[in-house]
Amino acid sequence: MDYPEIIVIEDNYHDLEMIKDALRELKINRNVCILRDGAEATKYFFNSAGGLNLNVSALPKLILLDLKLPKINGLEVLKALKTNEETRSLPVVIFTSSDESSDRINSYHLGANSYLVKPLDADEYFSYIRDIINYWIGMNATAQ
């Protein structure tokens, strides 16, 4: 069974379409899971007792996480991922429209691996996604 290499946690339709378009151009869209809010994301990873919902071999190589999510915000999702022993080492890239210093500080304090502010220009947006994928999927050596 093919498990997703990349989990995208994003609720904004426009941003999600831009991410999906970039991933299609990079020819890696077949191993991507899209989660639309923080509650769906935490339920994907964890059961009601807080244990891992997935087999360790099913964990992704990268999580692309927006902060401004409905139901449970991105910082809470990040906290859940980084406080769980089995998901702590997963690379989590915050990809958000927030340029607030408090969001950056809180994200890094909670264990984010990177914090990127979404660019407004479509070409630059594609370049960001390409560079994120090239580094975190292509070049980065994971703990797993």
The H or E element that residue 101 is part of is helix 101-110
Q: Of 16, 50, 15, 46, give the one whose Cα is nearest residue 33.
A: 16
Query: Residue 2: is it exposed, middle or buried by C-beta count within 10 angstroms (0-12/13-18/19+)?
Result: exposed
- Nearest 5 degrees, angle CA 30-CA 63-CA 83? 145
How confident is the prediction along the chain (144 residues), in pLDDT tens digits per residue?
A: 567 889 999 999 999 999 999 998 888 766 899 999 999 999 999 998 888 888 887 889 999 999 999 999 999 999 999 999 999 999 999 999 999 999 999 999 999 999 999 999 999 999 999 999 999 988 887 766
Residue 37 near residue 72 (C-beta atoms within 8 A): yes
Q: How many residues does the chain have?
A: 144
CATH of 6-139, one of 2.60.40.10, 3.40.50.2300, 3.40.50.880, 3.40.50.1100: 3.40.50.2300
Burial (0-12, 13-18, 19+ Cβ within 10 Å), 124 = exposed
26 by Cβ neighbours in 10 Å (0-12 / 13-18 / 19+) ranks as middle
Domain ranges of the chain: 6-139
For position 121, what pLDDT does the model report? 94
Candidates 31, 77, 80, 18; CA nearest to 58 is: 31
For residue 144, the model assigns a pLDDT of 62
Query: What pTM was computed for the model?
Result: 0.93
pLDDT of residue 29: 61
